A and B are shown apart, each in its own frame.
Chain A
């Protein structure tokens, strides 16, 4: 529109002759240099995603309906047995299959290779990650939204607020492995439990008569890991929630207060309803972050291998005449027990596959499959969040 490039005319009548061409060459050069920087980022990301997709899709997806490798997504990880007979045929199977085939082959068996964790599917890790995410996001949302409400709605300036903000900033910068250490020290080894037989390591026990409150820790379990992750994502949730609360116009609050509503009524009826969609949207990013962290759960929740889902557990059958109450109690205990178990988690599973077992073509297949599924999960979370934010922005405009 302006500045169409022209040859500088020698025009005594024009007081505004410029040095067009040089400036423009320089500008387009700089523009291209900067664009290249941007392109590097985009293309590297694309290359990574493509590589994982190309290598991982054949494992996790299938050509026929339902287009996903059902076995890979619905089986627990197991040891892969690769059996070769003397004719050079190669059979892949699990441990039971291996025994049967070995019996059948008899002397014809040439060799048997076992590759840990690389057989079966990845249901266990997926379930474990889901549970960790549920616990952590639940805890973090509760604490985070409440903190954000205090910061945004109640707080006036003061030392306390300054300290809280400083703490949030610093918490956001703490390395994830330090959170792991914290989780180990605080939840695995110190957190309080009700028990009848406190352990020696409890730093403090409080007899309550019918039971004892013992600060002996929860051991490595979903709860420990979930709480640790909750504090990893807490700063993210607080910051995002506060932004959403601040985005609600001040007039809403003033109108509500002018009608005689109390502070809490104002928050509950005039602020939160408009902030909730935004808070939920940004909490999705928290989910993605929690699902992706490995270091905090390494010592607090994750197991390299487990052959059962958390709720598959032997249970003592109650006597036939057991009261309804006893059944209830047992059911509640069974439910709680789900969360006091260690689990496999997807990121830790990938770590195990990639770094703790010898590498070969079979383990590589399992690796790429898991990474692909993991990346799809995380990416879809991130995409949902971005998409929801866009549509929210279009919907709520004040």
Chain B
């Protein structure tokens, strides 16, 4: 029933959902999701609140599984061509290669430098020059280097909200992941900061595969190449953003876009 991977196939998918059901101990929140995200493209997940878009996003780096009883009960999730639920998959390695940014910016109460270097350090990088290099690269990618290069030892919690969120992005890309997951990254920010982040997301798409969740349809239009619309745990429609917004194939999608329900 759901209109699955109907996207053009120039590039192999980096993330692929094959008929995924997801359960929180008693009730199923995702039903039979088929979805694939292309390399170096931005994919947006939209839908009314509680539709399971965050859950879907968190399936990619298995963040959901920290809760007791939460699991993928059916189907497979493939990242870089590997089923991430295979027994030989190391969770820490998976998460190293699938970065994530959260709704509320959550820098550690450490210095800016330590925040960005954290990911590398936990993966065993100790050499000062490599760290310096990586921190600079990450901050440059997050368009923070110019602002912050002189105060890398300042506590990250002193930054403004937008800066904090970009710092979190920098932290996530410092380990050079393939995929970047963003869970409503702008919802707690003011319009100017939002704009900055949106620009950043488009730039990031050059190097990373970005999947993000948003409740703001305009944002999806502005930023994403592909959009998936979820409703009540089902993938209703997935396709090219322009196409989906200008010419939705499903009635449900249409009424959602028109604002009949939200």
Contact = CB atoms under 8 A, between A and B. Distances in A.
Contact of A16 (B65, B71, B84): B84
Interface string B91-106: 1111001000000000
A8 B88 contact: yes
B88 A17 contact: yes
B62 A16 contact: no
Interface in A15-34: 15-20, 23
B87 A17 contact: no
A370 B89 CA distance: 62
A2 B68 CA distance: 11
Contacts of A6: 87-88
B81 to A, nearest CB: 7
Contacts of A11: 88
A14 B89 contact: yes
B175 to A, nearest CB: 13
Contacts of B84: 16
A3 B95 CA distance: 13
Given A13-B82, A15-B82, A2 B90 contact: no
B73 to A, nearest CB: 13
Contacts of A23: 92
A19 B82 contact: no
24 contacts: A1-B65, A2-B62, A2-B65, A2-B91, A3-B90, A3-B91, A4-B87, A13-B81, A14-B88, A14-B89, A15-B93, A15-B97, A16-B79, A16-B82, A16-B88, A16-B89, A16-B90, A16-B93, A16-B97, A17-B90, A17-B93, A18-B89, A18-B93, A19-B90
Contacts of B129: none
B82 A14 contact: yes
A9 B87 CA distance: 10
Contacts of B137: none
Contacts of B97: 15-16
B190 interface: no
Contacts of B93: 15-18
B165 to A, nearest CB: 27
A8 B86 CA distance: 12
The 8 residue pairs across chains A and B that have the minimum distance between CB atoms: A18-B90, A16-B93, A16-B89, A18-B93, A16-B94, A15-B80, A9-B88, A16-B90
Contacts of A17: 88, 90, 93
Interface in B158-197: none
Interface in A73-112: none
Interface of A: 1-4, 6, 8-9, 11, 13-20, 23
A14 B84 CA distance: 9
Nearest to A13: B82
A321 to B, nearest CB: 82
Interface size class of B (residues with CB under 8 A): 10 to 19
B65 A14 contact: no
Contacts of B92: 18, 23
Interface string B59-88: 000100100000100000001111010111
B71 A1 contact: yes
A11 to B, nearest CB: 6
Given A1-B65, A2-B65, A2-B91, A14 B71 contact: no
Nearest to B88: A9
Nearest to B84: A16
Contact of B90 (A1, A13, A20): A20
Given A14-B88, A16-B89, A18-B91, 15 more contacts: A1-B65, A2-B65, A4-B87, A6-B88, A9-B88, A11-B88, A13-B81, A15-B80, A15-B82, A16-B88, A16-B93, A16-B94, A16-B97, A20-B90, A23-B92
A18 B95 CA distance: 11
Contacts of A16: 79, 82, 84, 88-90, 93-94, 97
Nearest to B69: A1
Contacts of B86: 14
Nearest to A3: B91
Nearest to A8: B88
Interface string B101-121: 000000000000000000000
A15 B65 CA distance: 20
A11 B82 CA distance: 11
Q: Which one of A1, A6, A13, A16 has the greatest number of beta carbons of chain B within 10 Å?
A: A16
Q: Which one of B71, B90, B91 has the greatest number of beta carbons of chain A within 10 Å?
A: B90
Nearest to B96: A16
A297 to B, nearest CB: 45
Contacts of B71: 1
A3 B92 CA distance: 10
Contacts of A20: 90
A9 B89 CA distance: 10
B82 to A, nearest CB: 6
Nearest to B124: A19
A15 B89 CA distance: 8
Nearest to A18: B90
Contacts of A3: 90-91
A347 to B, nearest CB: 44
A25 to B, nearest CB: 15
A300 B228 CA distance: 77
Contacts of B65: 1-2
Q: Which one of A2, A6, A11, A19 has the greatest number of beta carbons of chain B within 10 Å?
A: A2
A8 B89 CA distance: 9
Nearest to A7: B88
Nearest to A15: B80
Contacts of B82: 13-16
A20 B80 CA distance: 21
Nearest to B70: A1
A85 to B, nearest CB: 73
Nearest to B71: A1
A20 to B, nearest CB: 6
A16 B77 CA distance: 14
